[in-house]
Amino acid sequence: MKKLNVGMIGYGFMARTHSNAYRKVGNFFDLQYEPVLKTVCGLVDAEAAAFARRWGYESHCTDWRKVVEDKNIDIVEVVVPNNYHAEIAIAAAQAGKMVICEKPLALNAPQALQMVEAVEKAGVANFVSFNYRRIPAVTLAKNLIDEGRLGKIFHYRANFLQDWTISTAVPTGGMGTWRLDAKSAGSGVTGDLLAHCIDTALWQNGSIKNVNAMTETFVKERKNAETGKMEPVTIDDACTFFCRFNNGSMGNFESTRYARGHKALYTFEINGEKASIRWDLHDLHRLQYFDHGDASILRGWRSIHVSDADQPYMKHWWVPGLQIGYEHSFVHQIADFLEGLATGNPARPTFRDALETQKVCDAVLKSAKSGQWENVG
């Protein structure tokens, strides 16, 4: 097996999910590559050192340029706030490294395009961590659509609901709350949460033609965690948009951090001529399926427990009936990325795929400002 040295830039939430995936992937998947956790980088030296010890990295540092310039590193992982994605990913590509970047790819589509151009010019493998695609029930939904089981699709609706920023005491900026600061996040729920829904929708139901959106910022001013000063909040706290897909179906998307009682309620429902499917992150191993072709006396929603060996990814895990969870979607994406290197058929979404999601996000934010339908460029 060929060893691939990983440089992880960031040691926060996503660095944990990605490190865990690298640790486990070789135990469950037959691969031609062996990832080696070489170095981890983050802002605070002692925290980076503690992360390196816990996850088994050989070294740590606080300057991401050292990782990018290190000739021993093969894969650069960009798992830092969104405003650093472009600079780090472009430098990594120019240094000839493969790049795995967290979502959203960039702050906006023009910046995402620069990233696409950099990885394509350098000819390096690239991948964006839209991990929900690789939850087995979500992959099964995609497979059912591709097999034509839903027939013509009429409706695609998705929600991503949270409630963690309702308190006015939640600050903006700084560690942990950089998501509330447009300078580091780019946007609010649109780039953070709807980007996931959009990526899955584009993958399952094809491209989006135009959008009509509404956003709201419920808390107008917050204290900046770094300066201690009150400042205007410039992110979208909530966003709802309608869209038309190029296949003629209608889309309806909603995301908010003000849905009291919901921590991370990502759901989608797709209604076709012959069948419908529904999925809920809080019950992630189940896919709800309604088939109009069933005998009428038996017709109804089935709750499919996606845990059998012939269902996506499940043959790599336990025995039928035993389910897996959130972290496994990250194991699957690393497995697929490494498999893509071996076969020459790159795992998706690539940077170019993620640019499409970014364009939809930009059109959504533009429409919310203009109050008009906006085309996805």
Q: Shortest approach of ligand NAD to residue 86 CB, angstroms?
A: 11
CA distance 29 to 138: 20
C-alpha angle with apex 342: 25 to 317, nearest 5 degrees?
30
Residue nearest to ligand NAD (CB): 12
Binder of ligand NAD out of 21, 41, 49, 314 (CB under 6 A): 41
Do residues 211 and 133 make contact, with C-beta atoms less than 8 angstroms apart?
A: no
Helix (H) or strand (E) holding 19: helix 13-28
Single-letter amino acid, residue 300:
G
Q: Exposed, middle or buried, 87 (CB in 10 Å: 0-12/13-18/19+)?
A: middle
Residue 49 beta carbon to ligand NAD: minimum distance, rounded to whole angstroms: 12
Q: Interface residues for ligand NAD in 42-71 (CB under 6 A)?
A: 42-43, 64
> How many residues appear in the chain?
377
Does 10 bind ligand NAD (CB under 6 A)? Our answer is: yes
- Compare residues 304 and 347 and give the one whose CB is closer to ligand NAD: 347
Contact stretch for ligand NAD (CB under 6 A) within 35-43, 91-99, 133-141, 229-237: 35-43
* Contact with ligand NAD (CB under 6 A) among 148, 176, 248, 320: 176
We find the least distance from the C-beta atom of residue 373 to ligand NAD, in angstroms, to be 28
CB count in 10 Å sphere of residue 258:
17
Tell the smallest beta-carbon distance from residue 225 to ligand NAD (Å).
12
Distance CA 303, CA 373 (A): 37
Pick one of 70, 74, 77, 102: the residue that binds ligand NAD (CB under 6 A). 102
Among 13, 164, 301, 318, binds ligand NAD (CB under 6 A): 13
Cα–Cα dist 331/67, whole Å: 23
Under the binding rule (CB under 6 A), the answer on residue 103 touching ligand NAD is: yes
**What are the φ/ψ torsions at residue 317 (nearest 5 degrees)?**
-105, -125
Min. distance of Cβ 123 from ligand NAD in angstroms?
A: 25
Please classify residue 232 by burial: count the beta carbons closer than 10 Å to its beta carbon, then call 0-12 exposed, 13-18 middle and 19+ buried: exposed
Sheet containing 208-216, strands listed edge to edge, beginning at the edge strand earlier in sequence: 301-305, 286-291, 275-280, 265-272, 153-161, 250-256, 238-245, 208-216, 374-375
Q: Which of 26, 81, 340, 346 binds ligand NAD (CB under 6 A)?
A: 81
> Minimum distance between the CB of residue 312 and ligand NAD, rounded to whole angstroms?
18
Residue 164, interface with ligand NAD (CB under 6 A)? no
CB of 279 to ligand NAD, least distance (A): 16
As a whole number of angstroms, the distance between CA 77 and CA 67 comes to: 10
Which residues are near ligand NAD by CB under 6 A? 9-15, 41-43, 64, 79-82, 84, 102-103, 129, 131, 175-176, 192
